[in-house]
Amino acid sequence: MKHYKTITELYTANGFPPPENPMLGLVTFDDIRGCEFVEKEFTLGFYKIALKKVKSGTVMYGKTKYDSESGSMFFLKPNQIILMNDIELTEKGFMIYVHEDFLTSHSLHSTIKKYGFFDYETNEALHLSPTEEENFWDIFNKIRKEYYNNQDEYSREIILAHIDAILRYSQRYYKRQFLNRTVISGTTVSKFTKQLQEYFESGKLQKNGLPTVKYLADELAMSTRYLSDLLKQETGKTALEHIHIALIAEAKNLLMNSEKTVAETAYELGFENPPYFSRLFKKEVGVTPTQYREQFLT
C-alpha cells in the first residue's frame, strides 16, 4: 500500500500544483480538475480536513463506504487507510493537509488529538447545512488568502488560528447533528443496551470476559469514538460508563440471589481481578459488594 510521507510527495505523484508550504497544503477541487489519484488505496503521514461533495463513485476509509452527494466535512488523522474507486467530485470542495510538524510549539499540536471526530468513520461525517457550509468556505478563503500572501513570521499563527476555528465550529456542528437526530440517537441507545444484554445472556461474559467498547461498536457498525460521543450526548454517559452500569446491575442481582463469594461473583462477571471489581462496585454504588449484600441479610 502506498504511503505518502509528505504533502509534497502527495502533490507531485498526483499532478497537483506544488504547495506553497511543504508543511501545509490547500487545494480546491477546481484547482485539481483533471487530476486523478494514481493510487486507489493509500495512507497519509499528515492530517487531512476536507469539505467534499461526491457526484459518483465511492470513497472508503477503513471498511466504511461513503457515497453521499451532500456537502460533508471529513477529518483524517495520519496513517488512516483511504480507498478510492471511480471518484467524480463536484467542483465545490476543498482539502487542507496539515503536517504535524507545522503544529510544533502551538497549542493545536496537542488539542487536535482531543477532537474525537478524527477517529470517526466516513459514514459518521459531519453533514452541513447551507449556512454551515458557507461558514467553512469563509474560513477556508481566509486561510487561502494568508497562504498566498507572501508568508511571514505572522502567517503560521494566523493560519493555525483559522484551522482551530474550523475544528471548534466542527465540534459545535457535531453537537447540533447529534441533537437533531434524537430519534437515531435513541435507537442507538436501545440497540447498545440490547447488544450488551445479549452479550451477558449468551455466556460470552464468562467465556471472553468483559465486553469492550470496540466490540460493541463493531456490532453496531460504528467507530468506538462516535458511539461513545453519541451516547454521551444523548444520556450524559459514555459507552464505557454504560457497560459499567450494566455490569453493576448484574452484580447486584448475583449478590442478592446467590451464595457465591465476592470473588466468585467477580469471576462470573468476567473480571480477572476481584479487587478491581470491588473498587468499581464501590465507586458506582458507594459501598463494597460485601456491604451491599449485608444490607439484605436478616
The Cβ of residue 50 has, within 10 Å, a number of other Cβ atoms equal to 17
Using CA atoms, how far apart are residues 55 and 29, in angstroms rounded to an integer?
A: 12
Has residue 106 got a pLDDT over 60?
yes
**Torsion of the alpha carbons at 45, 106, 232 and 134, rounded to the nearest 10:** -80
Contacts 24+ apart (CB under 8 A), 146-152: 147/20, 147/21, 147/24, 147/26, 148/20, 151/20, 151/21
- The reply to whether 183-294 shares the fold of 2-180 is no
Fold category of 2-180 in CATH: Jelly Rolls (2.60.120)
Has residue 293 got a pLDDT over 90?
no
By the 8 A CB rule, do 251 and 269 touch?
yes
Lowest mean pLDDT among 69-73, 86-90, 247-251: 86-90
Q: What pLDDT was estimated at residue 101?
A: 93
Q: Is the dihedral of CA 134, 121, 172, 77 positive or negative?
A: negative
Using CA atoms, how far apart are residues 36 and 49, in angstroms rounded to an integer?
A: 19
Q: List the beta strands (DSSP E) in the chain.
A: 2-4, 24-28, 41-44, 47-52, 54-61, 64-66, 72-76, 82-89, 94-98, 126-127
For the chain, the average pLDDT equals: 83
CA distance to 84, 93, 149, 221, per residue, from 63 (Å):
12, 23, 40, 10
Q: What pLDDT was estimated at residue 298?
A: 52
Domain spanning 183-294 has what CATH number? 1.10.10.60
Residues 124-156 have pLDDT tens digits of 788 888 889 999 999 999 999 999 988 888 999
Q: Domain coordinates of the chain in residue numbers?
A: 2-180, 183-294
What is the per-residue DSSP string for 223-236?
-HHHHHHHHHHHHS
Using CA atoms, how far apart are residues 209 and 266, in angstroms rounded to an integer?
A: 10
Has residue 157 got a pLDDT over 70?
yes
Residues 172-224 have pLDDT tens digits of 988 887 766 555 555 677 788 888 888 888 888 878 878 889 999 888 888 88
In the sheet that holds 41-44, the strands lie side by side as 2-4, 41-44, 82-89, 54-61, 64-66
Lowest mean pLDDT among 60-64, 88-92, 212-216: 60-64
Spatial CA neighbour of 91 closest among 121, 125, 53: 53
DSSP H or E segment with residue 154:
none
Residues 16-44 have pLDDT tens digits of 888 999 999 999 988 887 777 777 788 89
Across 13-17, 56-60, 101-105, 199-203, the highest mean pLDDT is recorded for: 101-105
Instruction: Take residue 136 and report the three cell numbers written for it.
Output: 467553512
Q: pLDDT over 70 for what percent of the chain?
A: 86
Give the global pTM.
Answer: 0.66
By the 8 A CB rule, do 227 and 216 touch?
yes
